[in-house]
Structures are given as C-alpha cells and as structure tokens.
C-alpha cells in the first residue's frame, strides 16, 4: 500500500443517550478485508458529541462505571449556555477524544489482555460514523 490509503466509513447505531459500543469486530473485519498483516489502524470519530476510547472489555461494569463517573463530572443539566441542550455531550466527547490508533500484527489488532476499542455515544440514540485508515507497514 502507498501513503494514500482510502478512508473507510463504518456505521454505528446507538440505542441509548449514553452508550459505549465495542467496535473491535467491525474494525478487525476491515483489516482482514484490506489484507494488511502489519501496520497501524487509525480510528476517527467525526462527531462533536461522540468519541472513542480504549478500555477494559472483560467486565461490562467498567464501561457502566465510566458513564456514571462522566455523568457525575459533567451533569446533563448545569446551566450551560449552548442552546441545543447537549453541552454535556460535547464536553464528554472532548474528554474521551476523537481518535485512537491501534497497531496491527499478523493481521490482528494488537490490544493488551483486557483491552477493547469503544465508540462512546453521549447524545443518542443516533446513527453515527466511524472512519478508519488502515496503513500497512
């Protein structure tokens, strides 16, 4: 592959106002489709009220706790100036970040023992995009 790998657009449908969606399988499928054995996958969320993070996948209480703590830190109601009423979602998305990179080796995403990649919804339910760029080494 050259330095102009195409951007792949995936769709994530959320069903809750705040939701952490494991997107490992979706991304791994695209890596297989691209035929990349070694390289890096950049994951980007092109939304201002959603983000992406890497965290534990073994215990679902971890992402539930993350959502709870984010709500405590940035409550939905807080006298915010933004007219749309979703300021908390904007702040939470900025806290999570809009991109992540994961190494690829032997055609597989390289996570630590308990890690997974999560799409973070803060203003759902919605249909969202996740953009990937898979770069071979």
Domains and CATH numbers, the chain: 8-136 (2.60.120.460)
- Rounded to a whole number of angstroms, the distance between the first and last alpha carbons of the chain is 8
d(CA 86, CA 16): 14
Q: What is the pTM of this model?
A: 0.94
pLDDT score, position 78: 86
Give tens-digit pLDDT for 52-88.
999 999 999 999 999 999 999 999 998 999 989 999 9
pLDDT score, position 112: 96
- Which residues of the chain have a pLDDT value below 70? 1-4
């Amino acid at each position: 592959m050259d330095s102009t790998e195409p951007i792949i657009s995936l769709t994530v449908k959320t069903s809750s106002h705040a939701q952490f969606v494991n997107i490992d399988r979706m991304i791994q499928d695209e890596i297989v489709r691209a035929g990349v054995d070694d390289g890096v996958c950049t994951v980007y969320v092109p939304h201002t009220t959603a983000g992406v993070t890497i965290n534990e996948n073994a215990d679902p209480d971890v992402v539930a706790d993350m959502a709870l703590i984010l709500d405590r830190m940035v409550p939905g109601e807080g006298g915010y100036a933004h007219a749309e009423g979703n300021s908390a979602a904007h702040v939470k998305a900025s806290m999570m970040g809009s991109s992540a990179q994961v190494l690829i080796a032997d055609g597989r995403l390289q996570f630590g023992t308990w890690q997974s990649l999560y799409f973070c919804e803060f203003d759902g339910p919605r249909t969202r995009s996740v953009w990937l760029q898979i770069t071979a080494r």
